[in-house]
């Protein structure tokens, strides 16, 4: 029993020495900062680990309205393939292509990654939003340092707005049938 008490007191003493050393080192850093010898200490969140599959690609799933996009991202020339077709063919409207490429503009990575994507469900606008969400998730898995600017732009958040269901006794979700006085 006395051995346990002694070992506990030894541990407590060692812990006290470690705390004292940590306080003196932080005090020394604070004094050096105040004197202008070093830059301000930067508090950064720990980076997440890079998540790649066996082919060196980052995978992510993007969702918007009723559309679901499965996205694979790998270094390349900037080619974006959706359901086996080029993005200009699949998304003919320039605004939809602009939505997809917003992520690369924010992260300043235009033309550096190839994207292979399969998307189903919903309409073209929802599918473009799903692809954008998937690319955002995948790029943060490939380069965890880019998570901050992508998150600040709001691209990692899934847009949860969907079509409201139709109710009985109504023409649509909220619209009433036409009123007839007679």
What span, in angstroms and rounded, lies between the C-alpha atoms of 103 and 130? 12
65: Cβ–Cβ under 8 A, 6 or more apart, which residues?
A: 122, 123, 125, 126, 129, 130, 159, 161, 162, 163
Please name the residue that has the structure tokens 């080192």: 25
Residue 2 confidence (pLDDT): 52
Q: How many residues does the chain have?
A: 182
Residue 25 confidence (pLDDT): 60
Reduce the DSSP state of residue 182 to 3 states and report it: coil
State whether CATH 3.40.190.10 applies to domain 58-152.
no
Neighbours of 165 (CB within 10 A): 7
**Using an 8 Å Cβ cutoff, are 70 and 115 in contact?**
no
pLDDT tens per residue across all 182 residues of the chain: 555 556 667 767 776 676 666 566 666 666 666 676 666 555 566 678 888 999 999 999 999 999 999 999 999 999 999 999 999 999 999 999 999 999 999 999 999 999 999 999 999 999 999 999 999 999 999 999 999 999 999 999 999 999 999 999 999 999 999 999 98
Neighbours of 24 (CB within 10 A): 10
Residue 136 confidence (pLDDT): 96
One DSSP character per residue, 36-80 reads TSSPPPP--PPPPPP---TTS-EEEEEEETTEEEEEEEEESS--E
């Amino acid at each position: 029993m006395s051995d346990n008490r002694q070992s506990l007191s030894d541990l407590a003493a060692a812990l006290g020495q470690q705390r004292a050393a940590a306080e003196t080192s932080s005090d020394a850093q604070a004094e050096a900062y105040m004197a202008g010898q070093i830059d301000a200490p930067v508090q950064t969140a720990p980076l997440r680990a890079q998540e790649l599959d066996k082919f060196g690609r980052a995978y992510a799933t993007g969702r918007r309205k009723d559309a679901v996009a499965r996205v694979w991202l790998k270094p390349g020339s900037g080619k974006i393939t959706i359901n086996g077709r080029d993005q200009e063919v699949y998304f003919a409207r320039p605004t939809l292509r602009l939505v997809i490429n917003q992520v690369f503009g924010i992260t300043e990575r235009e033309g550096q990654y190839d994207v292979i994507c399969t998307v189903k469900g919903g309409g073209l606008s929802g599918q473009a939003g799903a692809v954008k969400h998937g690319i955002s998730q995948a790029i943060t898995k490939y380069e965890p340092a880019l998570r901050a600017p992508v998150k600040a732009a709001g691209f990692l958040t899934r847009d949860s707005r969907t079509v409201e269901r139709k109710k009985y006794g109504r023409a649509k979700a909220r619209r009433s049938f036409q009123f007839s006085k007679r």
